[in-house]
Homo-oligomer: A and B are copies of this chain.
Amino acid sequence: MCNSDQFVSSIDPLHPANLIPQLCENMYRQGWVTGTGGGISIRDNNVAYVAPSGVQKERINPEDMFVLTVNDRSVVRAPGRGLKESACTPLFFNAFSIRGALSCIHTHSQNTVMATLLWGKEFRISHQEMIKGVRKGGMSDALTYLDTLVVPIIENTPNEEDLMEGMAEAMHKYPNAPGVLVRRHGIYVWGPTWEKAKAQTECIDYLCELGVKMRLAGMRTVPDDGEAVIP
């Protein structure tokens, strides 16, 4: 491990080390990463950038980044001042290795948590324009208005690292899923670029918010499904 700052000293505002602080601040304003939870990882060729654990997501600096090899998750650059690696790292890497994603986002958005409290093993919604903003498996063709979006819900574990296996399993079982919901916790969403990972996270979050509103108002999110509806 070295501390070479070449990884975090680009003047390009779209360099991962500069972009992650901007995107995290944006997610903070959306209420997705308050209390230091959640984050985003972006790959750049052989390495991946991840913000550290336990920091305020609206106040990250480029020099706070961890940089890890995509290959074996070894740290090639760590920030100073005692910052720790994020427990989300192995989960982000699931998206890189299983789907070939280049970016992965994790939020604690209440819309996603409420969805996991009102649905069972899958969140399902159909006949919504925003479904068209989501790709099959998060990576290939966009879903159409006629498709049903299905996001698997896995059970939470006391340690975030221990979600790795459950998330991987769900990704294999649901090859078309663009993300994985974690009950009483939040969601992981990925994409072939950071732009698409971000847009897909926004679409799925929107659909969770709308789905929760619909269900609480007594409506089905999949019209012809046999899903139970709150009376």
Contact B110 A35 (CB under 8 A): no
Q: Provided the pairs A202-B35, A210-B113 are in contact, do residues A145 and B130 lie with their beta carbons within 8 angstroms?
A: no
Q: Does A213 contact B (CB under 8 A)?
A: yes
Q: Within A138-160, which residues are at the interface with B (CB < 8 Å)? A: 144-146, 156-158
Q: Does A94 contact B (CB under 8 A)?
A: no
- Within the complex, the shortest CB–CB distance from A131 to chain B, in Å, comes to 9
Contact B206 A130 (CB under 8 A): no
Q: Does A216 contact B (CB under 8 A)?
A: yes
Give the interface size class of chain A: 35 or more
Q: Provided the pairs A56-B195, A56-B199, A128-B184 are in contact, do residues A36 and B113 lie with their beta carbons within 8 angstroms?
A: no
Q: Provided the pairs A184-B128, A199-B56 are in contact, do residues A133 and B206 lie with their beta carbons within 8 angstroms?
A: no
| Assembled-state Cα–Cα distance A114/B130 (Å) | 13
Q: Does A136 contact B (CB under 8 A)?
A: no
- Within the complex, the shortest CB–CB distance from A60 to chain B, in Å, comes to 12
Contact B146 A129 (CB under 8 A): no
Contact B110 A206 (CB under 8 A): yes
Q: Please, which residues of chain B bring their CB within 8 A of the CB of A228? A: none
| Assembled-state Cα–Cα distance A56/B34 (Å) | 22
Q: Select one of B35, B145, B206 contacting A34, CB under 8 A.
A: B206
Q: Does A179 contact B (CB under 8 A)?
A: no
Q: Does A186 contact B (CB under 8 A)?
A: yes
Contact B203 A34 (CB under 8 A): yes
Q: Select one of B118, B146, B198 contacting A56, CB under 8 A.
A: B198
Q: Provided the pairs A206-B35, A206-B110 are in contact, do residues A145 and B157 lie with their beta carbons within 8 angstroms?
A: yes
Q: Select one of B117, B133, B205, B219 contacting A219, CB under 8 A.
A: B117
- List of 4 A-B pairs having minimum Cβ-Cβ separation, nearest first: A35-B203, A129-B185, A35-B202, A34-B202
Contacts A114-B213, A144-B158 given; 6 further ones with Cβ under 8 A? A37-B130, A56-B195, A108-B129, A108-B130, A108-B206, A113-B210
Can you name 23 A-B pairs with beta carbons within 8 Å? A34-B205, A35-B199, A35-B200, A35-B202, A36-B133, A36-B199, A36-B202, A37-B129, A54-B199, A56-B195, A108-B129, A108-B130, A108-B206, A110-B213, A114-B213, A117-B219, A129-B156, A129-B186, A144-B158, A145-B157, A145-B158, A216-B217, A218-B230
